[in-house]
Amino acid sequence: MTSWFKITRQLLQAIRHDLARPHAFAHERVGFISASLSLAGNDLLVLARTYRPVADDEYLPDPSVGAMMGPEAIRKALQWALSDGVAIFHVHTHGGYGRPGFSGIDLTEQAKLVTTFFQITRKCPHGVLVLSDNSAYGNIWLDGKRPGEPITRFVEVGSPLHAWSGI
């Protein structure tokens, strides 16, 4: 299956702008993107809809990571998935240019986070994204049983259209 993550340029710029804001003690910002899904043949289209940042008071001090979300931030994202019936993608940025990658801590923690979403909304794929200033990389879980897999293609919808491979 080929997975396509599509996002408007306007939404992607707003997310990058928000994630660039400083925080009192966290070294980076994080947030969540809701998405609708469409299956077309062997292609899974993930259509980014809206973004919600983690609120300032929902970060926990933890010098071992760039940002640690508290339970309220996760509860709100779970409620969003349940209430709106949407896929949820956790997002943060590593800045720079070119295709970013996940850090070791990102890889260890992302599966734990994403599998909690399958306890609430079992029928929606969920995932994680890391952004750079001109690209993105991500993993998607199609269900709560199999490991996540890289998102195959990204499309930034705008003029001109910008697309890149995720693998």
- The model's pLDDT over 57-111, given as tens digits with 9 standing for 90+, comes to 999 999 999 999 999 999 999 999 999 999 999 999 999 999 999 999 999 999 9
Tens of pLDDT along 28-68? 999 999 999 998 899 999 999 999 999 999 999 999 999 99
* Domains of the chain by residue range: 2-165
The alpha helices in 29-142, defined as continuous H runs, are 71-84, 104-120
Any idea which fold 2-165 has? Answer: Cytidine Deaminase; domain 2 (3.40.140)
pTM over 0.75: yes
- The Cα–Cα gap between 35 and 91 comes to 12
Q: C-alpha distances in angstroms, 80 versus 73, 86, 107, 143?
A: 11, 8, 24, 18
Burial of 123 (0-12, 13-18, 19+ CB in 10 A): exposed
Q: Are 36 and 49 in contact (CB under 8 A)?
A: yes
- Determine how β-strand 153-157 pairs with β-strand 2-8: parallel
